[in-house]
């Protein structure tokens, strides 16, 4: 009977963890970060799910003779925004998973 109770307890905890992770994903969609490149000439906004939600480009950077500059600024802005969003996601998931780990266990050991 003890094994059955332990299994039921484990399954219950797994269901709770799935629910917390789902809630964390919903919260991540609400978090937004904005990164700048070229001194603010290009601004990229991403949400905590690491999806780009907006890109803003100042007119001064639009030079038909220097498309490479614009491309580089967009790439830099996107990479910065995604990095910041990934950090938010990592923290949020670690918090969600942390309540299910044994005391003293570091969530970063699991990539969280």
pLDDT at 109 over 90: no
Q: Is the pLDDT reported for residue 51 higher than 70?
A: yes
What is the number of structural domains in the chain? 1
Q: Name the average pLDDT for the chain.
A: 85
Say yes or no to pLDDT of 52 above 90.
Answer: yes
DSSP state of 49: T
Report the C-alpha gap between 31 and 48 in whole angstroms.
5
For the ranges 61-70, 71-80, 84-93, the lowest mean pLDDT is seen at 84-93
Under 8 Å between Cβ of 86 and 28: no
Residue 27 banded pLDDT, cuts 50, 70, 90: confident
CATH number at residue 51: 3.30.1310.10
- Of 48 and 107, the one with more pLDDT: 48
Q: Are 57 and 50 in contact (CB under 8 A)?
A: no
- Average pLDDT, integer, range 95-106: 65
Cα–Cα dist 101/11, whole Å: 15
Query: Which of 104 and 82 is assigned the larger pLDDT?
Result: 82
Determine the Cα–Cα distance for residues 112 and 92; give it in Å rounded to an integer. 9
Domain that holds residue 95: 2-110
């Amino acid at each position: 009977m003890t094994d059955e109770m332990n299994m039921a307890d484990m399954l219950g905890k797994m269901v709770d963890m799935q629910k917390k992770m789902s809630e964390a994903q919903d919260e991540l969609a609400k978090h937004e970060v904005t990164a700048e490149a070229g001194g603010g000439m290009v601004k990229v906004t991403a949400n905590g799910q690491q999806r780009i939600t907006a890109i803003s480009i100042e007119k001064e950077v639009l030079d038909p003779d220097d498309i490479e500059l614009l491309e580089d600024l967009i790439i830099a802005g996107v990479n910065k925004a995604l990095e910041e969003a990934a950090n938010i996601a990592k923290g949020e998931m670690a918090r969600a998973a942390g309540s299910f780990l044994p005391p003293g266990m570091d969530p970063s050991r699991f990539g969280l």
